[in-house]
């Protein structure tokens, strides 16, 4: 059941994309609540997996894969629409590819992604429920905030003329904060992988 919830998030993403690019301002008022639903379901599938004892390596890997797809697509869309700079999705893509490549090594040996973290800082930033939740909420707020205002230049032009700059600035600040946390959570994965890989490399050279 948990995997179906995860798959449902994937389908809802395409519904959101259709609305965002529909060109119908009144329909685009659904942007923010639908975005929040998609992000919130990430916590639901985890709860369902624990509640019904469905926690598996496949489920954890599938969940992370959909997480990556959802956030990457949304960052690219926001950049394509001109709400953020292209460097933001590029940063997330580069970080995501590096981290996922490292995690694939753990998956090959039967180790779930978050179980790979050994250091206290790594467990807190990467595997800890608080940071995972905070990061998810921050991204949800960022996506929802930026997409919330998409139809307002048409629906409320006077309001947007007066407040658009401020509201867009808040969106940029949220995007930058998300990018900073993205880097902060990715670095421990890369650092621990490099540190753990050194002995084996030295042994091969010896």
**Which domains are assigned to the chain?**
2-205 (1.20.120)
pLDDT of residue 24: 96
Name the token pair of 21: 């690019």
pLDDT digits (tens, 9 = 90+) for 110-136: 554 555 666 778 777 887 888 888 888
Between 195 and 95, residue with greater pLDDT: 95
pTM of structure: 0.81
Helix axes of 31-51 and 129-148: crossing angle, nearest 10 degrees:
160
pLDDT of residue 118: 66
pLDDT of residue 202: 44
Q: Which of the residue ranges 82-91, 102-111, 190-199 would you say has the lowest mean pLDDT?
A: 102-111
pLDDT digits (tens, 9 = 90+) for 17-28: 999 999 999 999
pLDDT digits (tens, 9 = 90+) for 36-80: 999 888 776 665 666 666 666 666 767 778 888 999 999 999 999
Q: Which of the residue ranges 97-101, 107-111, 152-156 would you say has the lowest mean pLDDT?
A: 107-111
Q: Compute the average pLDDT of residues 89-109.
A: 79
- Please name the residue ranges forming H helices in 57-156: 57-80, 87-108, 120-122, 129-148, 152-155
| CA atoms within 13 Å, Cβ hemisphere of 98 | 18
Residue whose entry in the numeric block shows the structure tokens 């624990």: 50
pLDDT of residue 203: 45
Contact criterion met (CB below 8 Å) for 189 and 96: no
| CA atoms within 13 Å, Cβ hemisphere of 72 | 15
- Please report which confidence band the pLDDT of residue 8 belongs to, taking 50, 70 and 90 as the band edges: confident
Name the token pair of 165: 């700059």
Instruction: Tell me how far apart the alpha carbons of residues 71 and 69 are, in angstroms, rounded to a whole number.
Output: 6
Instruction: Tell me how far apart the alpha carbons of residues 109 and 101 are, in angstroms, rounded to a whole number.
Output: 13
- Please name the residue ranges forming H helices in 109-156: 120-122, 129-148, 152-155
């Amino acid at each position: 059941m948990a995997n179906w919830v995860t798959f449902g998030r994937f389908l809802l993403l395409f519904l959101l994309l259709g609305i965002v690019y529909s060109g119908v301002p009144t329909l685009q008022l659904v942007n923010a609540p639908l975005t929040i639903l998609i992000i919130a379901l990430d916590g639901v599938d985890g709860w369902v997996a624990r509640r019904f004892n469905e926690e598996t390596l496949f489920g954890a890997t599938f969940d992370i894969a959909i997480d990556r797809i959802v956030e990457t697509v949304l960052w690219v869309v926001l950049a394509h629409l001109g709400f953020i700079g292209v460097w933001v999705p590029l940063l997330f893509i580069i970080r995501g590819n590096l981290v996922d490549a490292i995690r694939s090594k753990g998956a090959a040996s039967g180790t779930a992604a978050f179980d790979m973290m050994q250091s206290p800082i790594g467990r807190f930033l990467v595997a800890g429920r608080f940071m995972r939740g905070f990061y998810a909420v921050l991204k949800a707020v960022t996506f929802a905030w930026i997409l919330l205002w998409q139809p307002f230049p048409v629906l409320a032009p006077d309001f947007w003329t007066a407040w658009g700059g401020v509201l867009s600035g808040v969106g940029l600040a949220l995007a930058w904060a998300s990018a900073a946390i993205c880097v902060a959570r990715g670095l421990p994965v890369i650092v621990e992988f490099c540190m753990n890989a050194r002995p084996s490399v030295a042994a091969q050279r010896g």
